[in-house]
Amino acid sequence: MNVFADVPARLAIIGGGFTGAAFAIHVLKHASQPVLIDVVEPAHELGRGAAYATDETVHRINVPSDRMSLFSDDGAHFTRWLFEHGWLPDVGSTDSFGWHYVPRSAFGAYVGDSLERARAKARKGAVLRVTRSRALSLRRESCGWRVILRDQKSFLVDSVALCTGHTPGIPCPISGAAMGHPGLVPQPWKAGSLNAVGKHDSVLIVGTGLTMADAAAALERAGHRGRITAISRRGLLPRTHGLFTNGVEAFDGNTPPKSAIELLRAVRQSIRTHAGRADWQCVVDAVRGNLPIIWRSLPAGERLRVVRRLLPYWEVHRFRISPQTHEAVMRAFSERRLTVERAAILSLDVENGRLVACLSSSAGARRAFDSVILCAGPSKELVTQPLLADLIRDGFAQPDEVGLGVKVDKLSQVVDKRETPQAHLLALGPITRGSFGEMTGAPDIVRQIERVAASMEARRSHL
């Protein structure tokens, strides 16, 4: 007999973007006993975060809709939702193979609607509340965790799930004048963020990944005809998609590699082995599916070598571009509106009313632009998130071994400074990437969430 069956478990989810909303959905789905869920999120809508809050139609999800379901056992769930809610059929979203690459805002709407449905279908005693605020710190108490908000209000819970997601990175020192310049765009997915860019402005985009491609596509749609210069240290661009062939094995039963160079050689060999039967994209996807096992097999030093030497190349092959966005980028190249350079930005200031970037390139150390768009990806500094920095300082958490987030165990329990996993302090989503090797894409996060939600319910049922 479970004597706690009528006592609601109290769970705080810190962060209400995709990861936090998806976790709430699965906790509600699995709950067979009373649970009180408090989601702490300052944004007005749950489930959107930075990537899915954009209202720009050319900002598209970079994978087909059949690979973006909130439920791993129902891959077509999102696609059905799109048809049911009028997002599909849409000629502009569907490629020649019949795959649907819909606007990011559609996925945000899907997550929000799925959360409301989970809320409505939840068993009696499963309650979801939303606190429109930001959690600044956690304090350990004998009966749980006290969540302290930015207005110094607080509440007590049994368990906490950290779902804080990405924090936009600042790629270089930026002067106060530059920060206040109307041409600086620090968050290109934010609604209306590109409105200040004039049609003939010279534009610097810092970063050459998917966010850069989204920005270039949005500028084209707005009628921008000025020159765009995109920079990154290696000048790598996201690759295109293949045919999505299923049943590809990454290593054909071989033991996982034990070093970064072995991993690279194994991937290349697998691509050669499958030549003629499957494209390299399928091999990359197969590696991604096995990455948690591969990652655990690598010594800490080799993981760090992967991050420092191979990660940039992995990301452009792993995070591939939608066909529609790729076409927009190729048009910009062909019309000589867009150029890509290998360079790093060292500082940003204002001179004579224009933004001046100090670059580490032979093309010129100091160059002036009308607008600068920051697309350099998420920050890797945990101190940019006060809550995580606070937990590390107090010893309740520690950085992972490669510096991409906080350290967690296989069940996503945060590991404290004494190397002890904490059953009632979880971390989910991108901040756990360094512990699993991959935790950025929605499918990876969904699988992680499903494991953790099921484990939580099983543990409580056996109390």
255, pLDDT greater than 90? no
Inter-axis angle of helices 442-461 and 18-30, to 10 degrees?
40
122, pLDDT greater than 50? yes
pLDDT band at 252 (very low <50, low <70, confident <90, very high): low
pLDDT of residue 100: 98
Q: What is the mean pLDDT of residues 122-137?
A: 94
Q: Rounded to an integer, what distance in angstroms lies between the CA atom of residue 418 and that of residue 187? A: 37
Correct CATH for 9-59+103-167+380-461 of 3.40.309.10, 3.40.50.720, 3.10.330.20, 3.50.50.60 = 3.50.50.60
Residue 158 tokens read as: 């049994």
Helix, strand, or coil here: 325? helix
pLDDT tens for each residue of 183-211: 999 999 988 899 999 999 999 999 999 99
pLDDT of residue 246: 78
Q: What is the mean pLDDT of residues 430-448?
A: 94
Q: Which CATH superfamily is domain 176-239+320-374 in?
A: FAD/NAD(P)-binding domain (3.50.50.60)
pLDDT of residue 302: 96
Q: Where are the domains of the chain?
A: 9-59+103-167+380-461, 176-239+320-374, 260-318
313, pLDDT greater than 70? yes
For every residue of 298-324, DSSP letters joined together read S-HHHHHHIIIIIHHHHHHHHSPBPHH
Least confident of 37-41, 357-361, 407-411, 444-448: 357-361
pLDDT of residue 1: 27
Residue 90 tokens read as: 């849409």
Q: What is the mean pLDDT of residues 329-357?
A: 96
pLDDT band at 362 (very low <50, low <70, confident <90, very high): low
Q: What angle do CA 246, 306, 360 make, to 5 degrees?
A: 115
For every residue of 357-419, DSSP letters joined together read EEESSTT-SEEEESEEEE---B---GGGSHHHHHHHHTTS--B-TTSSSB-B-TT-EEE-TTS
Q: Rounded to an integer, what distance in angstroms lies between the CA atom of residue 372 and that of residue 367? A: 11
